[in-house]
Structures are given as structure tokens and as C-alpha cells.
Amino acid sequence: MKSINVAVVGYGVVGNGVARILIEKKELLSKKSQIEINLKKVYTRNWNKQFEYPLPDSLKAYSLEEVLDDNSIDIIVELTGGIDFPLQLMKKAIEKNKHIVTANKALLAEKGKEIFTEAEKKGIRIGFEAAVAGGIPIIRALREGLVANQITKVYGILNGTTNYILTKMLKEKRDFNSILREAQELGYAEADPTLDINGTDAAHKIAILASLSYGGFIDFSGVYVEGIQDISPIDVELGRELGYTLKLLAIAKSHNGEIEVRVHPTFLPEEHPLAKVDGVYNAVMVEGDAVGETMFYGKGAGSLPTASAVVSDIVDIAKSIALGVGREIEITSMNWEHKDLVLTKLSDFNTRYYIRFTVPDITGILAKVSAVFAKYSISIAAVIQKEKVVSLFEKRKEKVVPLVILTHTASEKNVQQAIKEIEEQKITVEKTKVIRVEDEEE
């Protein structure tokens, strides 16, 4: 039986899971793959701490050179996090002709072009199943299972922390900050959850899925990203009254030769399958021209779910090393057309909108708002005005109420201009809240 040697660099939550699977499931893996996969070395900066899965001294490496200079190591598993250090590590691994497996979505989304181009020159494979949606095998599904399809849309819930917060806001009617604190105490949210909350983590993941789906590199700075930090319980509740559930949705879709890639809080019809994905779970929907709609659901984070994806890449690369084939096909898989994708600008998006104005409860307000909407060709689908007072005008002591308008499909440019004009006319007394709605019209 052919034997392949693996080294892991970075021994955190996922690294511990990878070592556990490679050691405890070695026999199962060799039965399934007909290859012996050996964990040869693990490198971490500091071995003097408690690990969830302690390793024997024989597996511990005390310098990166011990791993990089070992010619018997075929695959390096990069699990260090950040961008600069893993980028340098990967470049060195490529120089040394070692294949790479990584869970690092930030690196691939922001430096993918650089690293894949280097890898391709040397015929090195980079496995990144664990970079998107943890244990869900969405990369392999897009690359292999759905290869017969032109992908028309790929979208989903790609961040567990924000999905946990939004689920609790809906079900327990609590505010954002108290739920975030609870998520941190329970270990669901990182000590610094900034990249989760502001949408960047989901944006990294959808950029990778868009690259794979549409066969080109994405300029990450062109991805529209909006997080959940400004979501108030009032919008979750008013959306629910209209039949919608709020999710942080990551969306990539193609039209007219361009790709629209965006992450933002999104209202979904409550009967939509993604609206039912609760807590820390992830789910991805893929629409293909042959297969129609498909859905993938599972754990998007955690030691063993993510390690399950890492090990799938190790086995996949081990198989192609053993067979001596496959590199040429695999290495181009992020960018099968060798091109940069053209991204649609925010102002050119077309979607439905939930718009909450905060207005005085006086005669003629609704008429003024709807006149501006008509001017910008924005068609109104539903209106809610609450009698419940949210505040009072300081000086005039008038009642101030939320006025919610749900639109039919409209252009982002027109919606933003209409809101600007309404705010300039001083019809509103607070900043207007806009939440995009993903709901196909009949």
C-alpha cells in the first residue's frame, strides 16, 4: 500500500481535531482510500500548554524548518490563521514541492490569485474544503458533484456566530449586545468576533464559492459587505409581521456576464429553507441549470467538523499523489477560465427592499413618501405604520412612529436616491433603515 506523510502547522482547535482523526481513524482512512496516511510532524510555536488532544513527543516539531526541510513530507496542513504568516508559509511549502491543505478563508479570498498562481507553476495542489462552511463538503460538491452545471446562484448562511445572534433576536426578542455576550460566554463567538459580526468572514467564504462557481478570480475589495451590528429588534419584529425572517445572507449570482457578490442582513420568506436554519448551523443553496436547486446543511465550525473537511482534502491529494494523476485538473479549479471576474457595482444591484422610516404621525407624511417613491419608479408592495409611538419630537412634542415600506424589485441606485431625497425634505426624524429582501416575485 502506498504511504503518504502529512505535517500539520498550527495546533489549535482544528489542528487538534485533525490529529485526532489522522491517528484514531488511521485504519478507516486506509481502508477507504487504500493509502496509508501518516501524521509525521506537528508544529506549533508553544508546546508548553494544555492541548485538547495531547501528542507524543515523537510527533512534535520545534521549528518550521523541521517540517519544510523534511523531504519525506508530502502534504502540509496550514492551520495558523491570519494572512501574512500563512502566505509566507505556503510560498515556502510550494518552493519545497509540498502540497497544501488549508482552512484559511481570509488568505484564499484576499490572496488567492497570488497563491494559486504560484502553486500552479509548480504543479502543487491546494485543498481548501475546510475554508467554507466547516464540515459541509460544498467545495467538492461545486467542483465535482455539480460539474455538469452552469451555476446561476450560490447563496447561504456561512457564519454561525451571526446566525446564532439573529436566531436568538427573533425567538427571544432580545437585543444584539446581550446575545453576543452570551454567545461569547458559551464559546460560540470568538473573543474578538469583529470579522464575524461585520460580515467579513461570510464575505471571504462567498468570494471563494463565487470563484469556484464562475471560474475566475474575485477582487475581494469589490465584494459588498454589511454586517449585523446595526440590526435592532424592531426590524426583526416588523419583518416577521410581513412574513420574513432575518438572516445574514451571502449571495453570488451571475447576470449579463457579471457576478454580483454581496453579504448583508437579508429578509427571507419565513417558508424559505434557509429561514429555518437556526443557531450556529450553516447552509448553502446552489442553483444549477441542470440540477435545479440543491441545499447543503451542517456544522460550519468546530474542531471535528472542520477537521473532517481537512482530512477529506488530505485523502484526496494523497490519492492523486498515489495515482500520479489529477494535478493538472485540480490546480486550476479556483480559476478554470484563467480570468478575473467582473463584479457588479452596488448601485447596479436590483432586489426588493424593506425600508423603515421614522416619521411624525401627522397628515400627509405617507403621501410625501410615496410621491418620492413614484418619482424614482419604486413600486410599493406593502406598508406598515404602527400607531405605537417610538419617541417624541423634543420641541414640537409630536408623536414619532415607524413607517415600513416593502418594495417590489427596484434598483439600488433609485432606492438610495429616494431615501436621500426623503431625508433631505426632513420628512424623517432618524436615519432610515434599509434591509434587502431576497424574495422572488411571481
Binding site for ligand HSE (CB under 6 A): 159-161, 196, 201, 300-301
- 205 flagged as catalytic: yes
Between 306 and 414, CB nearer to ligand HSE? 306
Between 22 and 301, CB nearer to ligand HSE? 301
List the beta bridge partners of residue 254: 259
CB of 252 to ligand HSE, least distance (A): 17
CB of 309 to ligand HSE, least distance (A): 11
Exposure string for 165-177, b = 16+ CB within 10 A, e = fewer: bbbbbbeeeeebe
Question: How many other C-beta atoms lie within 10 A of the C-beta of residue 140?
Answer: 16
Q: Which residue in 205, 247, 253, 433 is the catalytic one? A: 205
Helix, strand or coil, per DSSP, at residue 95: helix
Q: Which helix (H) or strand (E) holds 354?
A: strand 350-360
- Residue written as grid cell 448553502: 284
CB of 53 to ligand HSE, least distance (A): 19
Between 188 and 357, CB nearer to ligand HSE? 188
Question: How many other C-beta atoms lie within 10 A of the C-beta of residue 363?
Answer: 7
CB 30 within 8 A of CB 22: no
Dmax (CA) for the chain in angstroms is: 84
The closest alpha carbon to 249, from 288, 293, 285, belongs to 285
Q: Report the relative pairing of strands 35-43 and 2-9 from DSSP bridges.
A: parallel
CB of 189 to ligand HSE, least distance (A): 7
CB of 354 to ligand HSE, least distance (A): 25
Give me the phi and psi of 378, to 5 degrees please: -100, 120
Between 4 and 180, CB nearer to ligand HSE? 180
In whole angstroms, give the CA distance from residue 152 to residue 388. 43
In whole angstroms, give the CA distance from residue 379 to residue 402. 19
Would you name the residues annotated as active-site residues? 205
